[in-house]
Amino acid sequence: MSVNVAVVGATGAVGDLMRRVLAERRFPVKAIKFLASAKSAGKTVEFGGKSYPVEPIRAEAFAGVQIVLSSTPSGVSKEFSPIAAKAGAIVVDNSSAWRMDPDCPLVVPEVNAEQLHHIKKGIVANPNCVAIPLCVALKPLHDLGKIRRIVVSTYQSSSGKGAKGIADFEAQLKAWVGGGPVPAPTAHRAQLAGNVVTLDWTLDPNGYTEEENKVINETKKILGDASIGVNPTCVRVPVKVAHSESITVEFERPVSVAEAKAALAKAPGVVLMDETKGEFPQPIHAAGTDHTFVGRVRQDPSCPNALSLWVVADNLRKGAASNAVQCAEELLRRGIVK
């Protein structure tokens, strides 16, 4: 079956990638439209060998649309995602606006696709770009030994700040490598070239950044267990695309490295890399793919019930656009959208 689709925020970094992922994955589109802010209206985008005009986001644009893939600022999402849902569409929303709403499932298809059967507001929330690969990697381990606590440090790429972040980083890197004066940052909160930035997000009152608090709250919701302790430190690193994560996970019972590797090797969406063969996940492996790469699985020498591992995924694809398209695929496969 084919369906009517709208991509909202179509000219942004994630919206543009949603369009490309729909084509790459051969999503069954009957008709498609591309919506963006008034300043982008009138531009054209290509899909399926045809050129489409970009339309302004407005209520009338959602008439007859069955699935909306949206990537806009939260304020825009809060206004228009309910309008699209009221018009009869199911919205897969990439903003943070709906993630912790109890009536909106927060879905990573490899982890909790069954939650798509509980869409009360017509909105499915697409999780944070760190929480998605974290949960893809940890779900098979949670099934093995029930996770009690997660300690995660992230190594997040410049593209997490969108196209402006990459442009900012590239300008800095060119000057830094050339030995000239490095321009002041415009998207990042400090120089990223030759540096790491531990406070590239808004600091919340609890001493954790907005990004870190998203990881805490969303991980618990996705894994369906509010009792799991999550302690994140989110860091921006001088990489263009793909986020890396150093994870230590404590279980209720001892889980061996062999058990963990066996579960990860057959887990959907996971590519397990073997360090004994010199393999280890790197951003250059993940960039441009929809996989979650896992490696360096090892026993925590300080805790018999804990393992440590290294995870990498493309933050723009699996961390955003591709996960949203996968949610749309599941809506069709499960007969939720007909």
- Same domain? For 111 and 148 the reply is no
- Same domain? For 251 and 329 the reply is no
Mean pLDDT (the chain) is 97
Looking at the domain assignment, is residue 182 inside a domain? no
Q: Are 325 and 18 in contact (CB under 8 A)?
A: yes
61-80 pLDDT, tens digit per residue, is 999 999 999 999 999 999 99
Model confidence at 1: pLDDT above 90:
no
Q: In total, how many domains does the chain have?
A: 2
Tell me the residue range of the domain where 138 lies. 131-157+196-315
Q: Give mean pLDDT, residues 287-314.
A: 97
Band (41; pLDDT cuts 50, 70, 90): confident
Model confidence at 121: pLDDT above 90:
yes
Among candidates 230, 237, 241, 207, which has minimal Cα distance to 134? 230
Q: Give strand ranges (E) for the chain.
A: 3-8, 29-36, 44-47, 50-56, 67-70, 90-93, 123-125, 147-156, 229-236, 243-251, 270-272, 292-299, 306-313
10-35 pLDDT, tens digit per residue, is 998 899 999 999 999 999 999 999 99
Looking at the domain assignment, is residue 190 inside a domain? no
179-222 pLDDT, tens digit per residue, is 999 999 999 999 999 999 999 999 999 999 999 999 999 999 99
- Same domain? For 271 and 211 the reply is yes
Band (145; pLDDT cuts 50, 70, 90): very high
- Same domain? For 146 and 273 the reply is yes
Among candidates 47, 56, 40, 44, which has minimal Cα distance to 5? 47
Band (338; pLDDT cuts 50, 70, 90): confident
- Same domain? For 113 and 204 the reply is no
Q: Which residues are catalytic?
A: 129, 243
Tell me, what CATH number does 84's domain have? 3.40.50.720
- Same domain? For 142 and 209 the reply is yes
Looking at the domain assignment, is residue 181 inside a domain? no
- Same domain? For 67 and 19 the reply is yes
Q: Which helix (H) or strand (E) holds 169?
A: helix 162-178
Looking at the domain assignment, is residue 242 inside a domain? yes
Q: What percent of the chain has pLDDT over 90?
A: 97
Q: Whole-prediction pTM value?
A: 0.96
- Same domain? For 40 and 63 the reply is yes
Q: Are 152 and 230 in contact (CB under 8 A)?
A: yes
Q: Output the CA angle 319-322-325, nearest 5 degrees.
A: 130
Q: Give mean pLDDT, residues 146-154.
A: 98
